[in-house]
Amino acid sequence: MKTSIPTKDQQNARKWFIVDAEGKVLGRLATEIADIIRGKHKPTFTPHMDMGDHVIVINADKIVVTGAKLDQKKYYSHSGHPGALKTTNLQTMLERKPLKVLEHAVSGMMPKNKLRAVFLKKLHLFEGAEHGHEAQQPEVLEI
């Protein structure tokens, strides 16, 4: 059996999916989204190529976390200057920037190379139920 490399036509055949994040658990939702963006759900998946589809996430501000993660989970940012480490817990992050939480979770599940930025461009997050991608005719994805 020979290994086949996907052609340009197979790479460019991208679908659009829409996911309603209301009431979904953060980590479980992020893993499903990461697999679709990378293209792992396709039989033609190739790790070094961009084979994934676009994902539109609506109601991304209404995700749920389990356990004591609201107080215990921390997000860190550092400017590079001594003593400039800032920490923010998940509850504060959900109040200020709810889209960043899901984006950060999906980003952490992407490969740590040049393809990460390419993959994350196919993630479209929206706080409400409205999105501007009706022209792409997205399919509803049940997770």
Q: Which tokens go with 74?
A: 């921390």
40 lies in which domain range? 14-65+98-140
Single pTM value for the model: 0.93
Tell me whether residue 114 is in a domain. yes
Q: Provide the pLDDT for residue 102.
A: 98
Tell me whether residue 91 is in a domain. no
Q: Which tokens go with 62?
A: 């209404």
CATH code of the domain covering residue 61: 3.90.1180.10
Tell me whether residue 46 is in a domain. yes
| DSSP H/E element including 88 | strand 85-89
Q: Band the pLDDT of 13: cuts 50, 70, 90.
A: confident
Tell me whether residue 24 is in a domain. yes
Per-residue pLDDT tens over the stretch 43-94: 889 999 999 999 999 999 999 999 999 999 999 999 999 999 999 999 999 9
Could you give the number of structural domains in the chain?
1
Q: Provide the pLDDT for residue 1.
A: 76
Tell me whether residue 109 is in a domain. yes
Tell me whether residue 133 is in a domain. yes
Tell me whether residue 8 is in a domain. no
Helix residue ranges per DSSP H, the chain = 8-12, 26-38, 69-72, 90-96, 98-107, 115-120
